[in-house]
């Protein structure tokens, strides 16, 4: 990618991108994702959140005593690009993957499914509480 293209993406606030057909660029080096120091929870999901999902996500964050500024959402494919981090939590919602080292891992159904499934909310809460013990 040309430096000008990278600059345009940065000016648009896009700090992460993914090439759709990486096989066309065999010598391309994947960009490293540097998480902000205040990021304590990494949310990994297979699908993007809509407003209803974002509301539930915010409620769960507040129950964990975290703010939205302390959380970051990434697609599963970006996990291997994470550099050093200060994460406390790594939450996989509706997907599975290798998590970054030195963090507590949560696994749940996707947020879309959790809206109408109290048992999946309860299972997530039990996982969160298990780390406090």
Q: What's the pLDDT at 17? A: 66
Q: What's the pLDDT at 16? A: 64
Q: What's the pLDDT at 76? A: 81
CB 38 within 8 A of CB 96: no
- Residues of the chain falling short of pLDDT 70: 1, 15-19, 22, 28-30, 133
Q: What's the pLDDT at 83? A: 79
**68: which 2 tokens?**
């939205």
117 C-beta neighbours (distance < 10 Å), count = 13
DSSP label of 122: H
**3-class state of residue 120 by DSSP:** helix
Task: Map out the domains of the chain as residue ranges.
Answer: 41-132
CATH class of 41-132: alpha beta
The predicted model scores a pTM of: 0.74
Q: Write the CA distances from 92 to 98, 114, 133, integer angstroms.
A: 10, 13, 21
């Amino acid at each position: 990618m040309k430096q000008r293209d990278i600059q345009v993406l940065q000016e648009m606030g896009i700090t992460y991108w993914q090439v759709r057909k990486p096989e066309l660029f065999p010598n391309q080096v994947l960009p490293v994702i540097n998480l902000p120091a205040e990021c304590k929870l990494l949310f990994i999901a297979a699908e993007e959140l809509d407003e209803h999902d974002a509301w539930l996500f915010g409620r769960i964050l507040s129950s964990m005593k975290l703010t939205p500024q302390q959380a970051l959402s990434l697609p599963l494919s970006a996990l291997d690009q994470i550099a050093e981090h200060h994460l406390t939590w790594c939450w996989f919602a509706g997907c599975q993957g290798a998590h970054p080292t030195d963090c507590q891992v949560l696994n749940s159904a996707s947020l879309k499914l959790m809206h109408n499934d109290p048992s999946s909310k309860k299972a997530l809460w039990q996982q969160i509480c298990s780390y406090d013990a």
